A and B are shown apart, each in its own frame.
Chain A
Amino acid sequence: MTKQTVLNKAHRALNARMVDFGGWDMPVNYGSQIEEHHAVRNDCGMFDVSHMCAVDVTGADAKTFLLRLIANNVDKLKVPGKALYSAMLNEAGGVVDDLIVYYLTDTHYRVVINAGTADKDLAWMDQLLGQWQLDVSVIPLREGPKAVAMIAVQGPQAKAKVWQVLPEVKAATENLAPFFGTQIGQFFIATTGYTGEDGFEIALPAAKAEDFWNALIAAGVRPCGLGARDTLRLEAGMNLYGQDMDETVSPLDAGLAWTVDLKSERDFVGKAALLANGQKAQFLGLKLLDKGVLRAHQKVVTSQGEGEITSGTFSPTLEQSIALARLPLGVALGDTVQVDIRGKLLNAQVVKPVFARHGKALA
């Protein structure tokens, strides 16, 4: 039995094509994935991301807990509302999940974890809390009166559309810097996203979600499915858990070194393994020069040895196939490599793993 978000009926009313995503019955598109993709790059689109799990981490030891739990350093968070992207590792240095943590107070953080990994993540946090004997509560905001729904409104017109529907939040969010969140009445509004475009991610009481969703549609915001979300994040060079990294992959080999704090004295789960193993591969972009479509798990042949595509698709913005790939150290930007597509070796160029942001092609 797949799980449903509170917007499930709304998706079906819009004739969405539904798929099982990490155990959740979610819309993959509402007709055309490519049109939805362009709507976000050029205008405004929205995604139901209520399958992701918001978790409140509270208590006297909340900060101590997160300092030890995740690879990025929550001590960087000094201003209430500031958000931080991080990996949560196992002792072997593999990625248990990637997450965003919002700093609200020293005794209250909001953490958003992935849908398919939520149960595993919560069990892992519980296990560590038991070992460490800290005064912390980890409360998923999934059920009961605290249950939240999450809607990501993204694109150059996203903020204007949200203010049209919620004029009362405009003053407090107009000057909100990137990667911040703020609670305004029943809405938690954050300047985060997974598309490379401007916009908000909004958490609100689950019971209010359908009315808000419909008000956004009336304001001209296009509903977009997980298909467009995937091509948008891939163009923006953002990792997808389970595809670009998992428990067997070091964040250093998955392009996430920038999120791992190895400089401070602070110890965290997986740090010793990362220091012992170092970086073994590099995470780069590929643009296919020949005709075809790059896909996850295709083999990449380079002068430095073999690599593997972790995410690949046809880029609607570049109108050519692009990929994120784990390649041997020594491969350089600009190199031409070969990708094995159904037994044929096709040429691809190695590029920075960012293809498009703010409506424009970069690579």
Chain B
Amino acid sequence: MSNVPADLKYTKSHEWVRLEGDGSVTVGITDHAQEALGDLVFIELPEVGKTLAAGQEAAVVESVKAAADVYAPIAGSVTAVNEAVVDAPETLNQDAYAAWLFKLQPANAGDLGALLDAAAYGAVADSE
């Protein structure tokens, strides 16, 4: 069973989203996603300042097996990226919730409400 922390929000496409105190959101891929991909070997992150629409391709994570797109969970602009995971993609396999990918300043704070909670995402992950 994969780990689905109760304090995060999720998407059907396996991103996790954490609302920070400053109103920005931190985005990564879920434990279920890293497990499905297997050993990660390459990560490509968006450029800081880039404006993304909800559902737009934002990053790429590649395992030995396959490449997977990571999508912007909500509309916003990229305020920071985690360069540390680019140098050590395996840290994402070790702890998917510590190895974040990028931070967004949401276009509309209210958009977060449409994301899945842990129970709903757990059901999505289990159905695969």
Contacts and interface: CB of A to CB of B under 8 A. Distances in A.
Given A34-B39, A293-B41, A293-B67, A314 B60 contact: no
B38 A314 contact: no
Nearest to A295: B67
A156 B35 CA distance: 29
Contact of B62 (A37, A314, A316): A314
B64 interface: yes
Nearest to A29: B38
A32 interface: yes
Contacts of B64: 33-34, 37, 227, 231, 313-314, 316
A291 B89 CA distance: 13
Interface in A189-203: none
A227 B41 CA distance: 14
Given A293-B62, A314-B62, A342-B60, A227 B67 contact: no
Contacts, number: 39
Interface residues of A, number: 18
Given A34-B64, A314-B64, A293 B42 contact: yes
Interface in B67-114: 67, 93
A314 B67 contact: no
B32 to A, nearest CB: 12
Nearest to A228: B64
23 contacts: A17-B35, A17-B36, A28-B38, A28-B65, A29-B38, A32-B39, A32-B93, A33-B38, A33-B63, A33-B64, A33-B65, A34-B39, A37-B64, A291-B42, A292-B42, A292-B62, A293-B41, A293-B42, A293-B62, A313-B65, A314-B41, A314-B62, A314-B64
Given A37-B64, A292-B44, 20 more contacts: A17-B36, A17-B38, A28-B38, A29-B38, A32-B38, A32-B39, A33-B38, A33-B39, A33-B63, A33-B65, A227-B64, A227-B65, A292-B62, A295-B67, A313-B64, A314-B41, A314-B62, A314-B64, A316-B64, A342-B60
- What 6 pairs between A and B have smallest CB-CB spacing? A314-B41, A34-B39, A293-B62, A293-B42, A314-B64, A33-B38
Interface of A: 17, 28-29, 32-34, 37, 227, 231, 291-293, 295, 313-314, 316, 321, 342
Interface of B: 35-36, 38-39, 41-42, 44, 60, 62-65, 67, 93
